Amino acid sequence: MSKLDFRSSEDLLRLGYGLVPIIAGADKFTDYLVDWEKYLDPAVERALPMRGRTFMKLVGLVEIAAGATVLSGQRKLGGYLVAGWLAAITLDVIANRDYDIAARDALLALGAYAMARRAAAEEASLGEPGLALAGGRPEAEPAPVELH
């Protein structure tokens, strides 16, 4: 993992979309934060070839892998993985009628997708961050905010 610059929006997105899936994924094994099975739609659970608890542990492994991909600096691939995964979770929680959680996860999926698209645009501009997004001109970093 390359060094994080906390003034960089890309690095902040990478940190958030990397750490949160890893933490949520690890919690699928402990249920310390929440009982994750309650978000599994009963119809989906009945269709599974395994217990819901076992399925949630597999979900956790996928989340950990997706988060690790983002943290490794592969924002494009990791962003698409996290966006797709969050979109699938959104559909499940809609089926379970957890609309508030579905709205949050849909917004998070859009953010991860935007991160992946930005990384793809940067790759298309021959690896120069921001060029494809700023009309061929390098983006200026915003000035640091001073708190008084």
- The pLDDT tens digits of the residues spanning 49-81 come to 999 899 999 999 999 999 999 999 888 999 999
- Banded model confidence at residue 137, pLDDT cuts 50, 70, 90: very low
Residue 51 to residue 22: CA distance in whole angstroms: 22
C-alpha distance from residue 15 to each of 21, 35, 136, 143 (Å): 10, 25, 27, 21
Residue 53 to residue 30: CA distance in whole angstroms: 11
Query: What does the domain layout of the chain look like in residue ranges?
Result: 9-124
Question: Is 0.85 topped by the overall pTM?
Answer: no
* Contacts of residue 130, Cβ cutoff 8 Å, sequence gap at least 6: 122, 138, 139
Q: What is the DSSP letter of 140?
A: P
